[in-house]
Amino acid sequence: MKIIIIGAGLAGLSAGIYARKAGYEVEIVEKNNYAGGLCTGWTRKGSYIEGCIHWLTESKKGDLNKIWHEIGALDDTVTIYDGDTFYEVNINGHKINMWTDLVKLEKELDQYATPNDKKILKKFIKNIKKSMNCGSVPSKKPFHLWTMMEGLSYGMKMLPLIKVMKEYGTLSIEEFGQQFESEELKFFFTNSMIPSNYSTSSLLATLGGLMIKNSGVPSGGSKPLIERVTKKYEALGGKLNLNCNVDEILVENDVASGVQLSDGTVYNADYIVSALDLHYLTKHLLKNKYEISEMMKRDQDKIKNPTCSLITAIYRTNADLSRIAQTSFYKTNEYTVLNESYTSIGIKHFGYEPTLIQNGKTVVQVNLITNEDQYNQIEKMSKEEYKAFKQEISDKFKEIIVNLIPEMEELEDLDVVTPKTYVNYVNAYKGSFMAYAMTPNNKQMMIMNNELPIKNIILASQWQMTPGGTPVAVVQGKFAIQTIQALESKKNN
C-alpha cells in the first residue's frame, strides 16, 4: 500500500516516519528545494538565522518528548538550553525578568506590586504551579480512536487545571495585564513572548513547562533539528522528492487517486496525507470542491478567530551582548507600521549558544506581531513597493535598537521576513505562522484527521488544533498514520 504525503514540514516528515515504521510505502512531495516548512533556519552572509523554535514543548520528558525522540528530532547528542529567564522587560529604568524559577519570579514582581497587585500575583503564581505537570498536547493517539476509559483518564489528569483554565481563559493577556495598578507590571504582562490577544491560560500553560525546565531550546535550532528528522525518515526507506509543487489532488467519485504536479507529473497512491495549510488544501489543491466546515465557520468570525503573523528584521553585530537578556522588551516612543501603532519593541539575540556566534558576530532579531489587515496591505504592494517597505522596516528598527542599546551601533542588515514570506515559502493562510489565535472564551478547535468526505485524504496539519505550532504539527503527523492503520484494519475486518 502506498501513501503520498504533501509537504516535508514537521507534520509531513513525522507522518512519513510513522508510515515507514508501520511498513507502508511512502513518498513525500515538497515544493521547496529543502525540507522543514515553517520549522526552518537559513544563512545570510555566513550567519545562521533561526526561523522557528523559540522553545520546544516537552523538551526533556513527557509523551510528546517520546515523539521527539522517535522521529529523531532529539537524541543524546542534542543539548537543551534552558534559560534562567523567559524574557525581560525594560521600563522606567527597571529591568524585570520573567524568571523560570517561581520563587525568584514572585520575589522580583513583588518589588513593583501594590497590595492589590500582590493578591493577583499570588493567585497567578499558585496556578502556574498547578499547570507544571499536566503535559501539553495529547499525543498517544487521535481523539476519534480513544476509548471511553482513555477519555476519562485524560479528563482526570486535567481535572486540577479545568477550573484554572476556565477562569484565565476568559481574559486576554492584555486584559490580565491591565488589572495591575503598577505601570511596570502592566507593561510586564502585556509585552510577553505570547501575543496579547491570546487568552491568559496560554501564558499560564507555557510558564508551567518553563518552570520545570521542560520547554528548552535544542542546540543549533530548527534547521539541524529538521536535518535529523529528514535523515531518520530516509534511513527508514522513505523517499523525499524536492522541487515538486503539487497543483491538484486527483479526485473522482469522492476517492483520491493521486496528486498532479505543476509540471504535469502524476503520483498515484492509496492514501494522500495533506501535511500543509488546510486553507491551501481546500481552496487550491481541491479547487474549492470540498470544505472543512469548522474552518469556514471560524473564518466568518475574525474577532474570535484572528490569525497573526510576524515582521522580523534580522541583523548581526560584533558587540558583546552577554549583559543583555536573550529576549528583551523595551518601552518606546510611539511608532507606526502599516497603520498600526506600537509603543514597545521586542529584541532577541542568539548569543546564548556558542555555535550560533559565527566569526565573532551575533545575530539579533526584532519580532513584531502583525494582523490580517497588515498582511492585506503588504499583499497589495508592487515588487518595488515591497522591497522599499522591507528596507524601511530594517532602517526603522535599527534606529530604535541603537537608541536603546548603544553597544549595537554597528548593526549590519541581514534579512527582513514579512507575512508575505510565509505565503511564498509555505502557502500560509494570510501569512500566519500558526493556526487561529487562542482568544478568550473561544472553544478549542479540534479537526479530525479524516474530516474530509474523501476518506482516503488524511489531514496532518498544525491547523487541526488551536493554536497550532510544532507540538500540534508533529502529533498530527503521527495521528494521520494511526488513522490510516485504523481504516485499513476496519477494511480487513
- The C-alpha cell that represents 319 in the structure block: 558587540
AA letter at 390: K
Beta strands in 425-471 (DSSP E): 457-459
What does the pLDDT read at residue 135?
66
Specify whether the CB–CB gap between 208 and 102 falls below 8 A. no
Helix, strand, coil tally for the chain in percent (to 5):
40, 25, 35
CA–CA separation, 67 and 71 (whole Å):
6
AA letter at 393: I
Neighbours of 352 (CB within 10 A): 17
What does the pLDDT read at residue 166?
83
Span 2-38+220-303+439-492: which CATH code? 3.50.50.60
CA–CA separation, 297 and 352 (whole Å):
43
Specify whether the CB–CB gap between 308 and 173 falls below 8 A. no
Specify whether the CB–CB gap between 46 and 316 falls below 8 A. no
CA–CA separation, 378 and 203 (whole Å):
30
The tens digit of pLDDT for each residue in 48-87 reads 999 999 999 999 999 999 999 999 999 999 999 998 999 9
Residue 446 backbone dihedrals phi, psi, to 5 degrees:
-135, 110
Q: Cα 477–470–461 angle (5° rounding)?
A: 40
CA–CA separation, 300 and 456 (whole Å):
28
Sequence-ordered list of residues with C-beta below 8 angstroms from that of 423, at least 6 positions apart, any chain: 379, 430, 431
What does the pLDDT read at residue 162?
80
CA–CA separation, 445 and 169 (whole Å):
14
Specify whether the CB–CB gap between 473 and 64 falls below 8 A. no
Instruction: Give whole-number Cα distances, 182 to 85, 92, 111, 114, 121, in Å.
Output: 21, 12, 10, 7, 12
Name the residue among 22, 6, 25 with its Cα closest to residue 482.
22
Q: Where are the domains of the chain?
A: 2-38+220-303+439-492, 101-210, 309-431
Name the residue with cell 491547523.
Answer: 463
Averaged over successive runs of 10 residues, the pLDDT of the chain (493 residues) comes to: 98 98 98 97 95 95 96 96 94 95 96 97 93 80 90 79 85 96 96 90 92 95 97 98 98 96 97 97 97 93 92 95 92 96 95 87 96 96 98 97 90 97 96 93 89 95 94 97 95 81
| 85-91 and 327-337 beta bridge pairing | parallel
Query: Where does 334-469 have alpha helices with state H?
Result: 372-379, 383-404, 419-426
- The C-alpha cell that represents 370 in the structure block: 502583525
| 444: helix, strand or coil | coil
What does the pLDDT read at residue 151?
83
What does the pLDDT read at residue 285?
98
H and E: helices and strands count for the chain: 15, 19
